[in-house]
Amino acid sequence: MTLSTMISTMSAGMLRTIGIFLLTLAGSLPLGMIVALLRKSRIPLVRGIIRVYISVIRGTPLMLQLLVWYFGPYYLFGMSIRGWRFPALITGFVLNYAAYFAEIYRGGIESIPVGQHEAGEVLGYTKAQIFMRIILPQVIKRIMPSVTNEVITLVKDTSLAFTLAYQEVFSLAKQISASQTSFMPFVIAGTFYFVANYVVAFGMERIEKALDYYR
């Protein structure tokens, strides 16, 4: 198999990897904010449930979580898992990264001085307006470096999709490498991950500079 053929064969896997990445971000970023706000709820039961969720997610490997989400419906409820592979994959990724983003959000929210809330109240803002107009813009600016690190990690973690035999770029690289007895598929996959991370890091850096309104 020639180099061009390998790249052509793996291109579909690259698109699937990008799909996992984009769908995970689209789901985990807003869900993480919801989880962070529930983590600060005044209702003890809600806080307790969220703490357990975050603790379990952060205390177990993502690979194990993917397996649980895929095989769990069958072993627990006897449900058919045909057609469940990709939804299970995205569910596992979204819930995993939402927990990490939630802790990043919570740290950013708690870093805002109480005086900011009081100033909003003096101006006559509601709690929702205070959060959206005063707190959230400052939180986003403060957490961008941490969010960038998580997003870059996500690019690499998409390779764990091979756990559920999903044909993304890393899975295809392993298959082609085994069938062709060649190391080149791994070089191609590594190049893809490097370029993807470079693009993500560049984009996040531009966003950070745009938010650096003190300069």
114-157: per-residue pLDDT in tens?
Answer: 888 778 888 888 888 888 888 888 888 889 889 999 999 999 99
CATH number for 115: 1.10.3720.10
Long-range contact list for 178-184, CB < 8 A, 24+ apart?
180/1, 180/6, 182/1, 184/3, 184/6
How far apart (Å, rounded) are the C-alpha atoms in residues 21 and 85?
A: 16
Domain count, the chain: 1
Min mean pLDDT across 7-11, 64-68, 69-73, 147-151 is at 7-11
- Amino acid 174: pLDDT: 86
- Is it the case that residue 189 has pLDDT exceeding 60? yes
Q: What phi and psi values does residue 84 have, to the nearest 5 degrees?
A: -95, -5
Range of the domain at 114: 3-211
pTM: 0.89
pLDDT per position as a tens digit, 71-113: 998 888 888 888 899 999 999 999 999 999 999 999 988 888 8
Q: Name the pLDDT band for 213 (thresholds 50, 70, 90).
A: low
Q: What phi and psi values does residue 41 have, to the nearest 5 degrees?
A: -60, 150
Q: Which residues contact 101 (CB under 8 A, 6 or more apart)?
A: 28, 29, 31, 32, 33, 35, 36, 147, 150
How far apart (Å, rounded) are the C-alpha atoms in residues 82 and 213?
A: 50
DSSP code of 40? Answer: T
pLDDT per position as a tens digit, 43-64: 999 999 999 999 999 999 999 9
